[in-house]
Amino acid sequence: MRILDRYMMRETAKTICIGSIAFLVVFISLDMVENVDDFVDNDVHILTVLKYYAYQVPYIFNLTLPIATLIACLFTVGQMARHSELVAMRASGIRFLRTVVPLVAVGLIASLVSLALGELVEPETNSTVRKIKATEIKKPKVRRQPHKKINISYRGESGVFYFTPEFDTYRKTMNEVVVEKTAGEELIYRLNAKKAIWKDSVWVFVDAWVRWFDENGEVKREAYIPEGTFANLRDNPSDIVREQRKPEEMSYRELRRLVRRIEESGGDPTRYRVGLNMKLAFPFTNLVVILIGAPLSARLRRGGIAIGVGLGLAITFIYYGFIRVGQTLGDHALLPSFIAAWLGNFVFAACGIALILRAEKH
C-alpha cells in the first residue's frame, strides 16, 4: 500500500470517527429534549435515562454512519482539491480512478462494520431500548387490545420457536401453528397443526403432524396427532403475544426463519421480506456514498467545511428518501422485495459511477 493510500484512508477514517461522535451527541440531545417531559412526569431515575441512551448508541451509530462517511469523503478529497493536490497527482500520472481506490476501501470497511453491528449487536440493544421505554419510562396504559393478532413469532424455552398467522387472545387459540425445536443450526423437529388451544396450562394441538429430522435435514420419522399435547410445551399465551419483536430487533437468520414460517402457513411475508433485504442493503450505503462523494468533492475548491457538511447532509437526506420510497413500494408489493430494498443503492451507485467516469475524462 502506497503512502498516499494510507494517508487518504487515515484522514477519512479519522473524520468518520469525529463525525459519528458529533452526530451521536446531536441525536441524543434532540431526543432528550423531545422526551424530557416523559422523564420528569414519570420520575425516571438518571441511571435509567443513561441506560436508555447507552443501548441506543449502536442504532444511532449505524443510522448516521453513512452521513459521517459521506462528509468525511467530501472533506478529505475537497481539501486535496483546494490545495491542488489532485492536480499534482494527475500531473504525476495518477488517474482519478486510482485516487478513489483507498476511499472505496474505507467505504467497504464501514459497510462491513455496519453489517456486523446490525447483525450481532443491534437486535438485542433495540429490543432492550423498547422494553426500557415501555416499562421504566412510559407508564403502562390500560387499553383494550384487539383480540386477534397476526403473524405472531415467539422464541420459547430450550430452543423452541412458535409461529402462527392468527392468534385469538380471547379464546387462547393459535391457528395454522408451526412449532420448531432447534439446537444451534440443526432442526430437531417441526410440528404443523391446524389449531393449538391453551387448556389446563398446556397446549393441545388439533390435526397435527410432527416430523423429526436427522443431522442432514432429512425427515427420519413422522407422527400424526389427531388431538393432544406434545413435548410438554407450556409457554404461556400472554408471553407469546407480549414478546413480539420488530424486524429491527431480529437478526438476519431470525427474520429469514420468520419469513419461511409465514410462507409455510400461507400468510403474506412481503413486509418482512423487504425488511430481510434491507438488513443487507442498508449497510452498503456506506460504500455507495463514497462513489457519489469522491467525484463531487473533487470539484469543491471553495467553501471549506460548511459546503462539505451541507452538501453531505443534502445528498444523504435525498438518499434516505429513495430508501424510504423503495421500502414503501416493497411493503405494498408494488416492487419485488429485493429491488425495493436496494433501489436507493442502485440509483446512487449508477450516478456515482457515471460521475467518476466523467471526472476521469477531465
pLDDT digits (tens, 9 = 90+) for 21-77: 999 999 999 999 998 988 888 888 999 999 999 999 999 999 999 999 998 988 888
**Strongest mean pLDDT among 26-30, 97-101, 140-144, 185-189:** 26-30
The per-residue b/e assignment along 290-304, b for 16 or more CB within 10 angstroms, e otherwise, is bbbbbbbbbebeeee
Tell me whether residue 263 is in a domain: no
Domain-embedded: residue 243:
no
User: Domain boundary at 182, 203, 234, which?
Assistant: 234
Task: Identify whether residues 59 and 175 lie together within a single domain.
Answer: no
Count of domains observed in the chain? 2
12 and 110 both lie in a single domain: yes
Distances in whole angstroms, Cα of residue 140 to Cα of each of 124, 130, 241: 22, 13, 16
User: Quick one: pLDDT at residue 249?
Assistant: 81
* Residue 60 included in any domain: yes
Kindly tell me if the per-residue pLDDT of 337 is higher than 70: yes
- Whole-structure pTM value: 0.75
Q: Is 252 within a domain?
A: no
Same domain, 108 and 175: no
Whether residues 182 and 221 share a domain: the answer is: yes
Domain end residue (candidates: 175, 210, 234): 234
Asked whether residue 200 falls in the same domain as residue 293, the answer is no
Confidence category of residue 265, pLDDT binned at 50, 70, 90: low
Average pLDDT, the chain: 86
Q: Residue 172 is part of which domain span?
A: 157-234
> Are residue 72 and residue 165 in the same domain, yes or no?
no
Residue in 324, 321, 362, 356 with CA at minimum distance from that of residue 341: 324
Residue 224 has pLDDT above 60, yes or no: yes
Q: Is residue 116 part of a domain?
A: yes
Give the residue from 204, 234, 264 where a domain finishes. 234
Q: Establish if 110 belongs to a structural domain.
A: yes
How deeply is 107 buried, as exposed, middle or buried, from its count of CB atoms within 10 A (0-12, 13-18, 19+)?
buried
Q: Are 110 and 199 in a shared domain?
A: no
Strands (E), the chain: 148-155, 160-168, 173-183, 186-199, 202-213, 219-228
In a domain, 107, yes or no: yes
pLDDT of 307 strictly over 80: no
- Shared domain for 210 and 108, answered yes or no, is no
Does 140 have pLDDT greater than 60? no
pLDDT tier for residue 157 given thresholds of 50, 70 and 90: low
The reported pLDDT for the residue numbered 361 is: 74
In a domain, 24, yes or no: yes
Q: Are residues 127 and 161 in the same domain?
A: no
Q: Are residues 74 and 171 in the same domain?
A: no
Domain co-membership, 223 together with 294: no
